[in-house]
Amino acid sequence: MPQQVVHKAEPSSQPARRTEPYWRKMFRQRQLILMSLPMVIYVVIFAYGPIWGWMMAFQQYKPGFSIFDQKWVGFDQFRFLLMDEGFTRVLRNTIAMSVISLVLGFVTAIGLALLLNEIKKTGIKRIIQTISYLPHFLSWIIVTGLVSMSLSTEGGIVNIVLVKLHLIDEPIVWLSEGKYFWGIVGATNVWKEVGWNTIIYLAAIASVDPSLYEAAEMDGAGRYRKIWNVTLPGIRPVIVILLILNIGWILNGGGFEIQYFLGNGQVLDYSETIDIFVLKYGLRIGNYSLGVAAGIFKTVVSIILLYCANLIAKRLGEERLV
């Protein structure tokens, strides 16, 4: 029988790479750590410091006494919150307005970024960008005032245009009918933020390899085919990351000021959000414990949604936060 030859593995000429100790890596990057230290201190003081006030949600809190001398009621506030029909309505309004604003915001921002990318004349492109960015720098008080004037039955531009086009017979009291309120909130959010949100997508489009467009053009792809097969896949990681981050804010209801300033007693069943609910019970009525419980519910659900969205993106092989 032929003798079996066993080849021994030759030792590698390169030395084994040692893992750098954690403390040494921190010392080597000490400049970056020192630069981020003020922001870390800010977050600890103003974001994590007030968490001790969450104890109020488990108490029958009464102002004027120490938080440690209050009557403890356990999860009674949470039970009342989840069984209250008013909070169910508030939760419905918050989710509905958030989803509308999220969908409209993503579609319009991506669409505007794609259109601006196709404009070759720099001057026209900058003018459109400037016009679309300007509403972002207006305060919500000014924005809601402009919206109220535009939707007014007396001289409001929206009613005037619709009547002139014979789409309606008489002016509509837009802000007095609840069925229109969610759409008004979504459209207002888009008008104010679409230009600002477009910046990120334009930066992502600029990072797409130009050789991919050249290859697609050589294969006979037209403008729309290049957008569909090159541009959108190129910016998909950015879209996924922003979608995950925005899902974490889904219980913000598309904002707080817009519902607070545009809402009134006639559309209360459609305009009240969780933040307004917390303000109503916490400051106006004086039930601070119930207001804190609603705030905790919002925070916990937001964290769960963020974690689930990140996990789904990981399972699908998309970009994710961690």
- Which helix (DSSP H) or strand (DSSP E) does residue 43 occupy? helix 30-43
Summarised one tens digit per residue, pLDDT across range 12-65 is: 555 555 677 777 888 888 888 899 999 999 999 998 888 888 888 898 888 877
pLDDT value at residue 14: 52
59 contact partners, CB below 8 Å, separation of at least 6: 67, 70, 71, 72, 73, 289
- Range with the lowest mean pLDDT among 19-23, 188-192, 263-267, 288-292? 19-23
Band of the pLDDT at 1, cuts 50, 70, 90? very low
Q: What are phi and psi of 183, to 5 degrees?
A: -65, -40
pTM of the complete model: 0.81
Q: Which long-range contacts (CB under 8 A, 24 or more apart) does 209-215 make?
A: 209/234
Q: Which long-range contacts (CB under 8 A, 24 or more apart) does 75-79 make?
A: 77/289, 77/290, 77/292, 77/293, 78/293, 78/296, 78/297
Cβ contact 149:156 at 8 Å: yes
pLDDT value at residue 11: 52
Summarised one tens digit per residue, pLDDT across range 110-159 is: 999 999 988 888 888 889 888 998 999 999 999 999 999 999 988 899 99
Judge: domain 56-315, CATH 1.10.260.40: no
Helix (H, G, I), strand (E, B) or coil at 277: helix
Cβ contact 76:61 at 8 Å: no
Radius of gyration from C-alpha coordinates of the chain: 27
* 8 or 213: which leads in pLDDT: 213
Q: Which residues pair with 72 in a beta bridge?
A: 59
Cβ contact 193:184 at 8 Å: no
pLDDT value at residue 109: 93
Summarised one tens digit per residue, pLDDT across range 74-118 is: 899 899 888 888 889 999 999 999 999 999 999 999 999 999 988
pLDDT value at residue 185: 93
Which burial class, exposed, middle or buried, applies to 130 when counting CB atoms under 10 A from its CB (0-12, 13-18, 19+)?
exposed
Tokens read off for 293: 């419980």
Summarised one tens digit per residue, pLDDT across range 167-218 is: 988 999 999 999 999 999 999 999 999 998 899 999 999 888 889 888 988 8
State the Cα–Cα distance between residues 144 and 312, nearest whole angstrom: 37
pLDDT value at residue 7: 46
State the Cα–Cα distance between residues 226 and 217, nearest whole angstrom: 8
pLDDT value at residue 15: 52
Q: Which amino acid is at 162?
A: L
